[in-house]
Amino acid sequence: MHLRYGLIVLSLLVAGACGLAQAAVAEAHVTGGRIKGQINQDVASFKGIPFAAPPVGTLRWKVPQPIKRWTGVRDASAFAPPCIQPWGEHEKERPSEDCLYLNVWTAAASPRERRPVIVWVHGGSLTGGMSSEKGSDGSHFAREGVVLVTIAYRLGALGFLAHPELTREHGSASGNYGLHDMVAALKWVQANIAQFGSDPARVTVMGGSAGAFAVSVLSASPRAKGLYARAIALGGTAMFPAASDDPQSQYFSPTLEYGESQGEALFKLAGAQSLSAARAMPPAKFMKAMEGSKVRIGTIRDGVLIQGANRERFNNGQFNDTPILIGYNSDEAGDPGPKVTAASANADLDKAPCKPTHAAFEAAYPAFKTDEEARALVRKVNRDANLGWSTWEWARLQSAKGRSPAYAYFFDIHGADKPHGAPHATEYPYVFGNFWFKPTENDLTISNLLRRYLINFATNGDPNGPGLPEWKKFDERSNRAFVIDDKPSSREWPSLAGIKAFDAFYACVVEEEKAQSPQVGVSPQPADH
């Protein structure tokens, strides 16, 4: 059977099978009380379900606290507001500090069903984004046999601020509240998701961009152990080559102490004389204080949730050993801008450290003469230097140090208006089946194909299934990735020579910096996606 025709037929059969009986899970008893959702054809959706107490007032900058019970049946037909953020694009949703809610889509006819679960962690640089975006509507996944959950988490200064007073109050460490929210949401899923016809033993956590970075962080955190069975990361990892305690180092990775110093600086800019005064201030004060400042608020090595460097923990076998499915897109870095010229690109290479590794770069990337060629090359180099190498390294460490397999993808679906490849995050419409543009027949075919792989992976930890092109496991000997283009197949990792050139380069640079500063190790850094 022709691949395209076969996939369309398969999709229709799956949708038809799920639509034979209308979803009957219209109400559920969850932590806190009873909720009533909304049924649209064969899919029941439950929106705005609290998974923690509102983090307001004295609960601002505290780890998630238990939900207070409610009486009667709570209406779960409307999304809760997104978390406080500075991005104007979400102003119409009226962001709120009271935002720790999640959403569930299911087509299960009974709570006794045991469907796999996918929990979506949105992106947005850990400063923006929302769980209610139209693009992450879970109806397609639900109709095809998965219970889809989208979660919110605190962002920016309200989600990641550390401060000495907060550390004393907590008795251990402060900061990383947004990550603690993700852990709390996963705990809620474990305790409640069976009510929606799903299996808590088959939870897959899936994140995109900064959400993928967070999934990578959780993969090395003992606080997330046992809360999920598989992990999917779409365009983001925390597997960075090195880290230093020195803010001047190119590999600087914030410690708790540094995070506390940034929290003190932000309090000063906002005019907060004490923690109690800061908790009484409107959130907008901190958003305004951050604008144009040099204050850096993000994930930190707190010793609690992030107990060490991701790469170091993987090398030591200190990670949550689950199957992973991870990847990135063909044009992740985008246009480097007009400042990049043939002369500047050549000069940058000449100035780069570790000169013995330069020959490998020259062999891996084609020579260029014009400014246009230089910009095209630099966008590939930047892609490979960041997401390319870090995704490859995560897959390599999982396959080498763990018992569970790693599956990697390289997404290269794009229109003629994107001649350099698929930009960052453009695989999401294909994953969820929610297109913001008019999809072609090929777009729909690729979307059905990709979602079948993800559903298979969520079901049993392996994306492969009958009638699908084989997606080979990653191992360092063959270095295969599943290339998603017009003819999807497992092939040698794209730009492998460049990835290996960066691997040698990073190893060299880390050794050089270690010689200059003994405080260099390996650690995750805040997402910049």
Q: Active-site residue numbers?
A: 209, 332, 424
Other beta carbons less than 10 A from residue 286's beta carbon: 23
Distance CA 217, CA 206 (A): 12
The CA distance from 124 to 159, in Å, is 13
Which residue is listed with tokens 């298979």? 456
Burial 67-90 (b: 16+ CB within 10 A, else e): beeeeeebebeebbbbbbbbbeeb
Structural contact between residues 467 and 460, judged by C-beta atoms closer than 8 angstroms: no
Token pair recorded at residue 196: 């929606």
Calculate the CA 283 to chain-centre distance.
Answer: 25
Maximum Cα–Cα distance across the chain: 71
For residue 165, the tally of other CB atoms under 10 A from its CB is: 17
DSSP one-letter code for 371: H
Going by C-beta distance under 8 Å and a sequence separation of 6 or more, which residues neighbour residue 437?
429
Tokens standing for 351?
């100035």
CA–CA separation, 143 and 107 (whole Å): 6
Spatial distance between the Cα atoms of 275 and 269, rounded to a whole number of angstroms? 14
Number of H helices, E strands in the chain: 17, 16
For residue 34, the one-letter residue type is: R
SS (HEC) of 429-493: HHHHCCCCCCCCHHHHHHHHHHHHHHHHHHHHCCCCCCCCCCCCCCCCCCCEEEEECCCCEEEEC
